[in-house]
Chain A
Amino acid sequence: MNLMNWKNRLAAVTTGAALAMAGPALANPYEKYAGTTLVISWPALAHFNAAEGLLEEFTEETGIEVEVDALQYLKLRDRQLLEMSKDEGEYDIVSWVVMWKGEYVSKGLLTPLSQFFTNGALVDPEFNIDDIADAYLQNGGVVGGQKGYLPGKSGGLYGLPFGAETSILAYRKDIFEEQGLAVPTTYDELTEVMTQLDAAGIPAMTSRGKTGHQVTAGWLLHLAPMGGKIFDDQWNPVINSPEGVKAAEFMRHVVQTGPTGIETFGFGEAAAAFLQGDAALYLDTLKIAAMSRNPNLSTVDGKVGFALHPTDVRCGSETGGFAIGIPANSQNQEAAFLLIQYLTNKAGDQRMVELGGDPIRHSTIQNNAGQFTEYPVVAEQLPCADPDWRPLIPEWNELNIDVLGQALTRVITTNDPIQPIMDEANEKARAIMEREGYYKWAAYRQGN
């Protein structure tokens, strides 16, 4: 007997022991990755500072360590590109400004999240991706759909929104009451309110205006509701369209009636002007709401009201902010996915609100609507968030900084006629698109 029996018994005992050991391991999807250290690259902004509390809770719960490399948000791109182009990069998770997603994917630097969403051991069945605001998800995470950056069947998911945003109007309730002004709902009303505030000696609306990305972002906020676009369906630039010129004229009016120094304001300076009481209006990211409640940043807490982004020919608010994803050269991709999922699931989104961050899920916005006055406004604004607010193509950075960023600086720092400035910018944009081969198919078809 008995050698065989003994062997069988040993095998049974070993299998039983292995199963007994595997049992608890299978019950904890994080256990396999305990002791791993993840490195995150993200911006030094209020939402992400708040998220550090959530990271500590993640480490406590999972045993996965997290290190953060936080940089000024426009400096992230250089560092991330450098790290992600190495064979083995430092970063396991990167957070990008949505306008960089096309470039990152076209260079093959990000991992498609479908690799993880097909892994039953990793995906939390209660994650419910449909609960995430569609505008945020499509704008921050989907690449390759219609035009390469819009929703569409050929699109792939490369990131999840985290720190995503749309635009709302913030106004000083006390000043509006004092001046007997109604909250503007259209651009005509907004223009009139700005003129009246200026006449009363009150700086009207703050805005970004610094040369480059910032002044372009300021202009884009008005272009969408005025019905303008950067390109038509054939990639012809239409920067100099009547809508583009009208948005530039409005931008000039903002500078003429707003606080001193808009020409030098980046995101931080524009927000600070409002938060420190030097402007009566702020039309930009919803992040201003959480910032206005932060006593370290704001002297106007309790005096701020929120309203929808005014409409002109249509409703159209920005789609911007950040998304997070996994570099293709990360050595800890599965653990990185678990952290991304932890930050963006329902519990994580609710914790972000409690820690002072901004939610990305409809359910979180609804559940907290009674607590924060801007949430009902955001919920109403989201359907107007325009996924085609700016073309998130790899060439956008050059168009944004070098072409529009220069032209719009001329608009706001001079009194030169606007149409020729925008015509010139349009030609420069066309030259860039030509150089990058966007008209090859049209030329080919014409040739045939």
Chain B
Amino acid sequence: MSIRTLSPYFFILPAVAIMFAGLVYPVLQAFYLSLFDWKIGTKFNDAPYVGVRHFVRMLTDDNVHESIWVTLRFGFWTITIEMFLGVSLALLLEKPIRGASVFRTIFILPLMISPVVVGLIWRYLFDARIGWINYYLGMIGVEPQVWLGDPELAFFAIVFTDIWQWTPFIFIIVIAGLQALPSEILEASKIDGANWWQHILFVKLPMIRSILLIALLLRLIDVFRALEVMYILTGGGPGRATELLSLHIYNRAFETQQLGYASAISVLLILIVFGLSFAILVAGNPMKEKSDI
């Protein structure tokens, strides 16, 4: 093999090494930990080796299945609504109308707030006894609701909060994409007689398809990573109604001290995210035209 052939690999070696140290090594560690029954406060060397017992247990654990189902339902509703609202808002505010920059700033404010603060804000807003939502609903004669204590309402509350926080993310990415579109093509479509709907559906959206896919991918991964807001808002309850997979892992690891088992579920989480990401990239790789991946 010639130096010419090898040299690209040599140049990407530092990046690969950093990837390995930062990404692959922790995953391998999580896998290693999942083979032991270790509890915080004891020496890891004393932890009994349990082989794949945690993985076997995980596959038959109704709580894990329920948590995955909650996460998938949460992901479906949040991503669908966020994509629709984010794209719609971006299309409405892309034109240089008076005050657009003020609206844009207001829309992206939720994105800038720390997730813990978002959780606290909405926890108090949804509070059954002192929350503003029940207060204003009461003014129009609606009985106070236990938003965070009823399985259905609590699920609605976490979906609503996530949409409030993350729609601006889609908005900001899409508006950046829209503003970078070449004006010649847009003008050409107008000259060809495309109406407003055709202009959006057949010209603009297809042209920002790569950006939409990347936004979708990032949100999908985020859904499986989501922890802080739900932890503050509901803690996964009532029961397990809002216990997303990441929160389930946290509760297993730190509430009930099953670190090995929690690691096994973490490995499952990584596999799910990897599988979904891979599927999306295969379905519509935004880099396809620029590389051979």
Contacts and interface: CB of A to CB of B under 8 A. Distances in A.
B49 interface: no
B146 A260 contact: yes
Interface stretch (A28-36, A43-51, A79-87, A162-170): A79-87
Chain B at the A interface: mostly helix, strand, loop or mixed?
Answer: loop
Contacts of A78: 40, 254
A20 B3 CA distance: 84
Nearest to A278: B129
B128 interface: yes
Contacts of B149: 209-210, 261-264, 413
Interface in B124-148: 127-129, 134, 144, 146, 148
Given A260-B129, A409-B239, A413-B151, A107 B146 contact: no
A259 interface: yes
A397 B128 CA distance: 28
Nearest to A211: B237
Contact of B257 (A84, A85, A259, A397): A397
Interface in B234-266: 234-240, 251, 254-258
Contacts of B127: 261, 264
B8 interface: no
Chain A's interface size range is 20 to 34
B237 A85 contact: no
Contact of B150 (A81, A84, A104, A413): A413
A71 B240 CA distance: 26
B42 interface: yes
Contact of A264 (B39, B43, B128, B134): B128
A401 B236 CA distance: 12
B65 to A, nearest CB: 15
Interface string A227-258: 00000000000000000000000000000000
A410 B239 contact: yes
B237 A409 contact: yes
Interface centre among B39, B43, B144, B237 (most CB of A within 10 A): B237
B240 to A, nearest CB: 7
Interface string B28-65: 00000000000111110000000000000000000000
Contact of A273 (B129, B238, B251, B257): B129
Given A84-B41, A260-B146, A261-B146, A212 B240 contact: no
Given A85-B41, A259-B129, A410-B239, A264 B256 contact: no
A52 interface: no
Interface in A241-296: 259-264, 269, 273, 278
A80 to B, nearest CB: 9
Given A78-B254, A261-B146, A413-B149, A211 B239 contact: yes
A210 B238 CA distance: 7
A39 interface: no
B92 to A, nearest CB: 37
A73 B236 CA distance: 19
A81 B235 contact: no
A260 B128 contact: yes
Interface residues of B, number: 28
Given A260-B134, A261-B144, A401-B256, 5 more contacts: A81-B40, A261-B149, A264-B234, A264-B237, A406-B240
Contacts of A90: none
B41 A107 contact: yes
22 contacts: A82-B41, A85-B41, A85-B42, A103-B41, A104-B41, A210-B237, A211-B235, A211-B236, A212-B237, A260-B134, A260-B146, A262-B149, A263-B238, A264-B146, A264-B149, A264-B238, A397-B256, A398-B256, A398-B258, A401-B255, A406-B239, A409-B239
B150 A263 contact: yes
A221 B41 CA distance: 30
Interface in B151-191: 151
A397 B41 CA distance: 14
Contact of B129 (A211, A261, A397, A402): A261
A406 B149 CA distance: 13
Contacts of B134: 260
Nearest to B43: A85
Contacts of A133: none
A210 B150 CA distance: 11
A109 interface: yes
Nearest to B150: A413
Nearest to A78: B254
B143 to A, nearest CB: 9
A53 to B, nearest CB: 29
Contacts of A264: 127-128, 146, 148-149, 234, 237-238
B222 to A, nearest CB: 24
Contacts of B256: 397-398, 401-402
A261 B144 CA distance: 9
Interface in A188-220: 209-212
A264 B144 CA distance: 14
Contacts of B144: 260-261
A212 B146 contact: no
A264 B257 CA distance: 24
A406 B239 CA distance: 5
Nearest to A406: B239
Contact of B42 (A107, A262, A398): A107
A320 to B, nearest CB: 18
A84 B235 CA distance: 26
Contacts of A209: 149
